[in-house]
Amino acid sequence: MQDKELYQHILGLSSPWTVRDVKLDMENQEIRVQVDHPRGTRFCCPECQQDLPCYDHGEERQWRHLDSCQFKTILFARVPRVDCPKHGVRSVSVPWAEPHSRFTLLFERFAIEVLQMTQTVKGAMTILRLKWDATWHIIERAVARGKARKQPLPLPRIGIDEKAFAKGQSYVSMIYDLDNSTVEAIS
Ligand SMILES: [Zn+2]
């Protein structure tokens, strides 16, 4: 199996997205996966879902994905934009990440699971090889997901956890919905 095909499978990419290139960067211990779509692919407006031709592409973006063995795995792509008659020029949604995130959905989910399991945020940061800002960004996004999913039903399983950060001088309380890997609240 070729590396491109292998990554196509393990990333779970679906049409129209394919792996164009896989590069191993030994110096930075990274695998860099270039993701692309065929010419002429049509995309939906992210607001109204109207099917439209590709207008142009934004700057190349990158998303941290789950590691491949000990290597950080980074997805690279230029996100297509559509020119919607109603909503103007908009970047389309990509299936592997939420808008504006620097991480794939799978990485964010894994990071929240690690945060749930570790005694301290610092411990999770070490395992995930993340800086504080990036970790906080992931927690905030999980909180946003938890809020967006608010339903009148009570939460099925809740975890409450106190995390120490900054060498144990401060604590942050995190309330999790354990079934959906979302963070319900932090204080
Ligand atoms: Zn639209």
Does pTM surpass 0.75? yes
CA distances from 147 to 39, 82, 161, 177 (A): 38, 29, 18, 11
- Domains of the chain, by residue range, sit at 3-96, 106-186
How many angstroms does the Cα of residue 48 sit away from the middle of ligand 1? 4
**How far does CA 65 lie from the centroid of its chain?**
7
How many angstroms does the Cα of residue 22 sit away from the middle of ligand 1? 34
d(CA 118, CA 102): 23
How many angstroms does the Cα of residue 146 sit away from the middle of ligand 1? 26
Ligand 1 is a single-atom ion; what residues have CB below 5 A from it? 45, 47-48, 84, 86-87
Q: Which residue has the higher pLDDT, 79 or 145?
A: 79
How many angstroms does the Cα of residue 37 sit away from the middle of ligand 1? 21
How many angstroms does the Cα of residue 152 sit away from the middle of ligand 1? 30
- Can you tell me the mean pLDDT for 135-155? 77
User: 10 Å Cβ neighbour count for 71?
Assistant: 15
Please tell me the predicted confidence (pLDDT) of residue 1: 61
Judged against a pLDDT cut of 70, whether residue 180 lies above it is answered with no
d(CA 5, CA 3): 5
How many angstroms does the Cα of residue 34 sit away from the middle of ligand 1? 28
CA distances from 123 to 107, 118, 135, 165, 174 (A): 17, 6, 11, 9, 15
Please tell me the predicted confidence (pLDDT) of residue 142: 87
What is the average pLDDT score of the chain?
85
How many angstroms does the Cα of residue 95 sit away from the middle of ligand 1? 18
40: region left, alpha or beta (phi > 0 left; psi from -120 to 50 alpha): left
Judged against a pLDDT cut of 90, whether residue 63 lies above it is answered with yes
Contacts of 171 (CB under 8 A, 6+ apart): 162, 163, 164, 165
Q: Residue 35: beta bridge partners?
A: 19
- Can you tell me the mean pLDDT for 169-182? 58
